[in-house]
Amino acid sequence: MGGKANPGNLWALAPAGSRRPAARTQRLQGLVGAIVPICLILAAAVLVTLPATLAPSARLTLFIFSLVVILWSTTDFNITHVALMAMVLMALGGASRQDQIIEALASDGIWLLIGASILGGAVQQTGLAVRLIQRVVARARTVRGVFLALTIALLPLSLIVPSPAGRSAIVTPIFHNLAQGGAGDLRITRALALLIPAVILVTTIGSLLGAGSHLLAVELLSQIAQQRLSFAAWLLYGLPLAVLASFVTGCWVVHVFLDKPLREQALWAPTTISPTLSRADWKLLGVVTLMIVLWLTESWHGFKMVVVTLAGALVLTCPGIGVLSWKQGVRAVSWDLVVFVGAVLVIGRSLIESGAAHWIIEQVSVYSGAVTSLSSMTILLWLSFFALTAHFYIPAHAARVAALIPIALYLAIGLHLNPVAVVFIATVGLDYCLTLPTSSQAWLIYRVLAGNAYQAADLLRLSALLLPIHVVLIVILYFGYWRWTGLSLEGLG
């Protein structure tokens, strides 16, 4: 006002003639960026009109599903907003029943995600995880020892905190302590900022609660193939891989980003975190231990995992007994992810009820001759490579699972493969996101904390070995362990 230029407005300080070229450049960049998704959407619209045997509702469902995948992989639109848009379009177009929206919100996956998020909030509120990790790390004396101890200590977090970003935030005090103990050595800070999120991400596969997207994958498996993966079964298959992958990751970070003299250097960590467990810590530890025991023994006592989880969440938020208030528990829930999962389940149900899923399976069955003749090794390698590289073209983890797990399931059913094995192995690959800083919030958290101590090129060095090693680990575990414990690709299980 009063003729004064606003110093926060760059346009106000720039010559009038320079604004038009900049604005024109932005519009041009926007148009260029829109060309790919628009062309893909038009191609999808044409392709769904070609099959003569496809019902109108199935055509609409296939087009909307294609639209969602295209927007997730080629634009920066919010993935939950896109999923909600698809759900509404299906309801308005008659491709899905309107009451499916209510049914989706009543699914086990939704309530399990809510209960597990409250549990994760309790872990963060009390600081129990930080104190336990600090106890393990304090026993080490050298930089190498501290890094390997930290690698081991981070693994159990995937059992109870259903978010890699949440686990990353929980252990930030440990990072600050160790970075301070490294006397400000940028090499130690960089290696720590790479190690912590990398280990957190590769241990995600160790537990059904390692990521909210796992719950979505299990719900889609139940919805499309009428089969389930229990907490105990997931732990049986995933924990060995998580242990091996985290150990390899820790060793790789230590040997690539720290030279030998630095690895053997003493690392003193300030004891700013109280090692004494509080009354709230003991309460939480007791509840968590009981919940894990009940999750593992679900087949014996008959109480579903979702019921046990919600009961634990209620105890942890109960006045006078719990460790956090109800409002704090509600704030710990990722409601954006809850809505996303609900919307994706509606889309998945629409694919089934419209006949689109049946049509896809029929087409796969008709043209499956060449594929069914392939060996288990070939199918395993193709599935692993496709899933492990999915983070290059669909950055968001939840969107990768929502877009690719239904496709993997339809292929599995059409090719007479075991859908449980296909979903688990595909999820192993979809969990991998160590190559790009934008692949996970965990990378962004520690890049900021470390003052940009690591660059994108460091992640490429990290992933150059770890991605092929993941393929090798999947092959070794499949032929040496998984197929002998019920996770074989052959047959419908």
Both structure tokens of 232: 């105990």
The answer to the question of residue 239 being in a domain is yes
Q: Which pLDDT score, from 0 to 100, does residue 24 have? A: 60
Structural domain tally of the chain? Answer: 1
Both structure tokens of 82: 């896109």
Q: Are 399 and 347 in contact (CB under 8 A)?
A: no
Q: What percent of the chain has pLDDT over 90?
A: 38
**Confidence band of 2 (pLDDT split at 50, 70, 90):** very low
The answer to the question of residue 254 being in a domain is yes
Q: Which pLDDT score, from 0 to 100, does residue 8 have? A: 41
Three-state DSSP at 189 gives helix
C-alpha to C-alpha distance for 282 and 458, rounded to whole angstroms:
40
Three-state DSSP at 255 gives helix
C-alpha to C-alpha distance for 23 and 403, rounded to whole angstroms:
35
Q: Which parts of 3-127 fold into alpha helices (H)?
A: 10-13, 16-47, 56-74, 79-93, 100-105, 108-126
The answer to the question of residue 246 being in a domain is yes
What are the residues whose beta carbons fall under 8 Å from the beta carbon of 435, sequence distance 6 or more?
Answer: 391, 392, 459, 460, 463, 467
**Confidence band of 1 (pLDDT split at 50, 70, 90):** very low
Tens-digit pLDDT profile for residues 434-488: 888 877 888 888 888 877 778 888 888 888 889 999 999 999 999 999 999 989 9
The answer to the question of residue 85 being in a domain is no
Q: Which range, of 146-150, 268-272, 457-461, averages the lowest pLDDT?
A: 268-272
- In what helix (H) or strand (E) does residue 462 lie, and over which residues does it extend? helix 456-480
**Confidence band of 491 (pLDDT split at 50, 70, 90):** low
Instruction: Using alpha carbons, select from 295, 279, 286, 281 the residue that is nearest to residue 122.
Output: 281
The answer to the question of residue 478 being in a domain is yes
Better pLDDT: 31 or 359: 359
Is pLDDT at 419 greater than 50 in this prediction? yes
Is pLDDT at 63 greater than 90 in this prediction? yes
Tens-digit pLDDT profile for residues 94-134: 877 777 777 877 788 899 999 999 999 998 888 888 888 88
Is pLDDT at 20 greater than 60 in this prediction? no
C-alpha to C-alpha distance for 374 and 376, rounded to whole angstroms:
7
Residues in the chain: 493
Mean pLDDT across 75-80: 88
**Is pTM, for the whole model, over 0.85?**
yes
C-alpha to C-alpha distance for 372 and 19, rounded to whole angstroms:
60
The answer to the question of residue 171 being in a domain is yes
Mean pLDDT across 413-440: 90
- In what helix (H) or strand (E) does residue 141 lie, and over which residues does it extend? none
The answer to the question of residue 493 being in a domain is no
Residue where the block lists tokens 């150059």: 464
For the chain, what is the mean pLDDT? 85
**Confidence band of 154 (pLDDT split at 50, 70, 90):** very high
Note down the domain range covering 109. 102-485
Q: Which pLDDT score, from 0 to 100, does residue 93 have? A: 85
Q: Which pLDDT score, from 0 to 100, does residue 159 have? A: 86
The answer to the question of residue 81 being in a domain is no
